[in-house]
Structure 1
Amino acid sequence: MALNFHFRLVVLAALSLLGLLALASQATARTLEETSLLLRHEKWMTRHGRSYKDDVEKAKRFQIFKENLKFIESFNKTGNLSYKLGTNKFTDLTIEEFRATMLNEDKSSPVPKTSKPASFTNESLAQIPYSLDWREHGAVTGIKDQGHCGCCWAFAAVAAVEGITKIKTGQLISLSEQQLVDCDPNSSGCGGGNRTEAFQFIKGSGGLMAESDYPYEGVEASCNTQTLGNPAATIAGYQKVEASESALLAAVANQPISAGITLDGTLFHGYSRTNGIFTGYDNTGDCGSGHYHAVTIIGYGTSHKGMDYWLVKNSWGTDWGKNGYMKMARGINAEGVCGINTSASYPIA
């Protein structure tokens, strides 16, 4: 009996030791994982030039960074998506902070009356190029960064004017978004605006200044009338595109086109340097709702796997997406990815 009791004690001690070793191993693994994440955060900070005011703020941003990484890794494991998410300069922001900083709330606003949307019914799609990139024709300025000012509408409108100006005059001139932010009375500056109203303002005010003459500040200010002089570009008006992919395709074949998209922001928050073609949630084209963003379509094409796409220029700097650009799928649904087929317009020179 004494021997059996002693044996049981030995077994219990061994089991306890194994349990402690297992807990120690788990703790070590957690420590190693945490250290790895801390190093990853430090590398991310260096890459994006990020610094924090104190250790408390840094710890807070690290926790947000970890949560965003967890979502990114989980998202990339689900389904057979044509793209993946990754880290970008927004990875230490919560989705709520990202929406408030980079997107506008999706509020309905009256749109100026214009002629019937162009359907391009007399234009044969068979005559347009199989693929097109307006950068190759010198009609696209470099990627710009709107910063923390919610004026994507101004950047999308200006990019379209820059494009048609180059096509008509042969000159590619970087034009002033700040002029629209400060001077367009129908906009709310950094609080949002309307691309078609911006075109209307450009026409009515006599044109846009060069960016070098009215540089971007990233904050809304009073209109600097003393700066306004001879415009670098003028337009005769604008035109809405019929809400169909074929009409939009024909329009982009003529010039860069400004377009509005509807989204909840989650996927754009994590969109990173990828060659994948963006298809929204579950490859359906749905991007959620509640917020609005404006971009410029600067071309189209077909991937080597046979997926059609739009080539899109954004205004969030070169450290978002593919050096500031993204490819959005065509042919997924009638409205297009994030509704991109439904709210496009362009300036007439």
Structure 2
Amino acid sequence: MKQILILVVLMPLAISHPGSLNQKEWHSFKLQHGKSYRDKTEELIRKEIFQENKVRINMHNHRFAMGLENFKLAINQFTDMYNKEINQMMNAFNIVKNQDMRGTTFISPEYSTLPESVDWRSKGAVTPVRHQGFKCGSCWALVTAAALEGHHFRKTGKLIPLSPQHLLDCSDSYGNQGCKGGWMAEAVAYVKDNGGIATEYSYPYKGVQGECKSQNATIGATSSGFVKIPHGDEKKLAEAVAFFGPVYVSIDGSHDSFHSYSSDVYREPKCSPRNNSHAALVVGYGTDSNGTDYWLVKNFWGTSWGIDGYVKMLRNANNHCGIASFARYPLV
């Protein structure tokens, strides 16, 4: 009986060891990610959060090494933050009521064989990964601009960086809420009615909502609407990506595992196909060396997150994380 009690007492010590933190490591983290805090009290709190998250990350990666997890995590820009505040800052996609009634219905191309893999980056249709910043829930604007970039490239052969700031500043009359969230459908509607979206060069991204200055901007692309993929249909989503170009989607990006994602195919048991809180861009798909099907998804949290800013999300698994729940691509 005494031996059992000794084991129970010592177990927490063994678990906490992977998260031990020294001052040099903390200093390196702050320097790498440009972290600064209001005072010593806040820094102490952030340091404690960092250490808690480090324990979680190390334990997850230990399970990965044992074959008990499918993907790896890493310390990144979010490691000194609570999950709830990350969601409040970074996830701001809002679902429009009755939006399935809008847009052109997707029709599968006839006599076409679906490729085993697709990557629109290799075809020159994808601009570099951006960082939306920590003060603006602008994923909806960034993904709209990115989708239009890809489809404008398919139409013209020219890859022109487009302005999410234009959408942040100018589309609020369509129901979008700037840095507090928005909808890709309403952003595309604004682009259509406005006669286009500005180039990034003429209307650069600032990551805060400001006064609309579209009259001084150069139009980089236009849109006549969007095509909607049938709800939850991953086969149709694959057809759209393969034959028409990048597709903007909404996903459940609310979990600690997503915020700390580093590599391999993301598979989160807690993911919901109905909690679509974050917007991203599907630029391809494939199958990894273990035979696991994945979607290649461009995120907008900078290149220090994930696989140089991308995530491989589980594919053909009952609409995992809701990736096919609200999938659309713009018409240009």
Question: Is the structural similarity TM-score above 0.5?
Answer: yes
Report Cα offsets for 1:1-21 as digits up to 9, x if no partner: xxxxxxxxxxxxxxxxxxxxx
Tell me, yes or no, if structure 1 residue 247 matches structure 2 residue 236.
yes
| CA displacement, residues 137-190 of structure 1 (integer Å, 9 cap, x when unaligned) | 110000011112101011111111000111110110100000000111221111
Residue identity matched to 2:248:
S
Per-residue deviation, 1:290: 5.2
Q: Choose which of 189, 206, 212 in structure 1 pairs with 2:195.
A: 206
**Structure ID, larger Rg:** 1
Rounded Cα–Cα distance in structure 2 between residues aligned with 1:74 and 1:261: 25
**Maintained 8 Å contact 1:101/1:149:** yes
Q: Which of residues 147, 150, 168 in structure 2 aligns to 1:181?
A: 168
Residues 309-348 of structure 1 correspond to what in structure 2 (within 5 A)? 309-333=294-318, 336-348=319-331
2:51 is matched with which residue: 63, 66, 85?
Answer: 66
Which residues of 2 match residues 87-126 of structure 1 at below 5 A?
A: 87-104=75-92, 109-111=97-99, 113-115=101-103, 117-120=105-108, 122-124=109-111
Q: Which amino acid counterpart does residue 141 of structure 1 have in structure 2?
A: T
User: Residue type of the partner of 1:171?
Assistant: K
Tell me how far apart the structure 2 counterparts of residues 281 and 101 of structure 1 sit (CA, whole Å).
23
Distance 1:175 1:306 in 2: 36
Letter in 1 for 2:268: G
- Distance in 2 between residues matched to 1:115 and 1:322, nearest whole Å: 32
Is the CA contact (8 Å cut-off) linking 2:144 and 2:248 kept in structure 1? Answer: yes
> Are the equivalent residues in 1 in contact too, given 2:103–2:226 (CA < 8 A)?
no
- Relative distance call for 1:106 and 1:235 in structure 2 (3 A) is closer
Secondary structure of the corresponding residue to residue 277 of structure 1: strand
Shift of residue 194, structure 1, vs aligned partner: 0.7
What's the offset of the Cα at 1:291?
5.9
Mapping of residues 74-93 of structure 1, within 5 Å? 74-78=59-63, 80-93=68-81
1:221 aligns with 2:210: yes
Q: Structure 1 CA distance, aligned partners of 2:315 and 2:18?
A: 40
> Is the counterpart of residue 195 in structure 1 residue 195 in structure 2?
no
Distance 1:151 1:124, change over 3 A: farther
Give the corresponding residue for 2:128.
142
**Where in structure 1 are there 5+ consecutive unaligned residues?**
1-28
* C-alpha distance in 1 between matches for 2:156 and 2:323: 28
Could you say which residue in structure 1 is the equivalent of 2:10? none
Distance 1:239 1:40, change over 3 A: same
Rounded Cα–Cα distance in structure 1 between residues aligned with 2:144 and 2:129: 14
User: Does the 8 Å contact 1:132/1:300 carry over to 2?
Assistant: yes
The letter of the residue matching 1:40 is: E
The residue identity in structure 2 corresponding to 1:140 is V
What is the letter of the counterpart of residue 222 of structure 1?
E
Instruction: Tell me which amino acid in the other structure corresponds to 2:295.
Output: W
Distance 1:201 1:112 in 2: 18
TM-fit CA distance, 1:111: 2.7
In the alignment, structure 1 residue 261 sits paired with structure 2 residue 244: no
Q: How far did residue 110 of structure 1 move?
A: 4.8
Specify which of 87, 106, 114 is matched with residue 128 of structure 1: 114
Sequence identity percentage: 38
The question of whether the paired residues in 1 share the 8 Å contact of 2:93 and 2:279 is answered with no
Q: Shift in Å at residue 123 of structure 1?
A: 3.3
2:79 and 2:88 map into 1 onto residues whose CA distance is: 15
Aligned-pair RMSD on alpha carbons? 2.6
For residue 286 of structure 2, give the secondary structure of its aligned residue in structure 1.
strand
Do 2:18 and 2:55's aligned partners in 1 also have CA atoms closer than 8 Å? no
The 2-side partners of 1:178 and 1:80 are apart by 42
Instruction: Spell out, residue by residue over 1:216-239, the C-alpha distance to the aligned partner (whole angstroms, 9 max, x if none).
Output: 1111112114323x4111122211
Aligned counterpart for 1:164 among listed residues 148, 151, 161 = 151
SS in 2 for 1:135: coil
1:49 to 21, 26, 34: 34
2:93·2:250 contact (CA, 8 Å) conserved in 1?
no
SS in 2 for 1:309: strand
The CA deviation string for residues 14-56 of structure 1, in whole angstroms up to 9 with x for no partner, is xxxxxxxxxxxxxxx9xx9887443322222222222333322
Amino acid at match of 2:180: G
Shift of 1:128: 3.0
1:314 deviation in Å?
0.5
- Name which of 293, 303, 321 aligns with 1:308: 293
Aligned-partner residue type, residue 269 of structure 1: H
Q: What does the per-residue CA deviation read over 1:105-160, in whole Å, with 9 as the maximum and x for residues that have no partner?
A: 7665453853553141x4356x2322111111110000011112101011111111
Equivalent residues of 1:38, 1:62 under 8 A apart: no
SS at match of 1:138: coil
Question: Which of these residues, 208, 225, 232, is aligned with residue 220 of structure 2?
Answer: 232
- 1:202 and 1:226 mapped to 2: Cα distance? 14
